[in-house]
Amino acid sequence: MNKFAGSIVAAVTPFRNQKLDEPAFEKLVRWWKKEGSKGVVVGGTTGESATLKPEEIAAMANIAREVAGKGFLIISGAGSNDTAKAVKLAELGAKLKVDAVLATTPYYNRPTQAGLVEHYKALAKVGVPVILYNVPTRTGCDMLPETIAKLAQVKNIVGVKEASGNPLRFMKIRHLVDNPDFALLSGEDGLVYFALASGGVGVISASANLLPKIFSDICNLWFSGKFNQSRDLQMQYLPLIEALFLETNPIPVKTALAICEKIREEFRLPLVKMGDANREKLVGVLKTFGLVS
């Protein structure tokens, strides 16, 4: 089975008075592992990477390794619209001896497909395994399947987190990538089943912060040949998954974790607390699923 197969938590960064809340993160990692998660991404989009310091990413990676132990994947974020900065983040990941770095496409400056190829080649030269991350709704940059297939041939590029929202993309990527070891991972929590059915190996999930066992089970049911049960579990939790994206990620999932008393309801600007109307909707869905009384 692929090294990255299963449900990997796109970890939130818990804060206390605007500083990394290390005890809260430690408890989260223990819980995620107990519930079947394969690993974590620290310093990614859900972790508010844009406002994190390298030392905070390093602290979370070290905590996760110490708490979860051998076999629990540690992936660190290496996303930037400045290739030189992305390389430095990849070098940080290499220093931390993470299993891979996750690197979103450069945002704002909107590089061409040729520019994306050169960007990721620069990261791959660091020597740490690289997982591509395509999330055009956030970056304004769509990495096409043909580009992913080209990059899959580059040494040290080991997979892709595909979050375009188009389920056909999974099939096209799997069809074009001539490497069975290349990890195709869903970046859309509502499309995990589709990714698996298209030859994917799992998910890097924001919702798994709150639902670690559910996302682990969706994957494990598929791996064990219980395809209908995997599909039904995905469908059952769609209302909650949708509620966790009522506002910009990670605002709803951090709010939900705070409501469930896992972390404090705290963000770094420019992210702010959830609007009252959406928070009320979220609480209602959490009650429906029995997560709060």
Active site residues: 133, 161
| Beta-strand pair 19-20/15-16 | antiparallel
Report residue 239: phi and psi, to 5°.
Answer: -60, -40
| Beta-strand pair 130-134/6-10 | unpaired
Alpha-carbon distance of 136 to 148, in angstroms, equals 14
Query: What is the DSSP secondary structure assignment for residue 127, as one 8-state letter?
Result: S
Q: What is the distance in angstroms between the CA of the first residue and the CA of the last residue of the chain?
A: 39
Report residue 166: phi and psi, to 5°.
Answer: -100, 110
Buried b (16+ CB within 10 A) or exposed e, 40-59: bbbbbbbbbbeebeeebbbb
Alpha-carbon distance of 242 to 281, in angstroms, equals 11
Please compute, for residue 162, the number of CA atoms within 13 A of its CA located in the half-sphere on the CB side.
Answer: 33
Q: How many CB atoms lie within 10 A of CB 234?
A: 23
In which residue are the tokens 């990890």 written? 183
If we measure between CA atoms, which residue out of 43, 40, 54, 128 comes closest to residue 91? Answer: 128
Alpha-carbon distance of 182 to 187, in angstroms, equals 15
Alpha-carbon distance of 206 to 47, in angstroms, equals 9
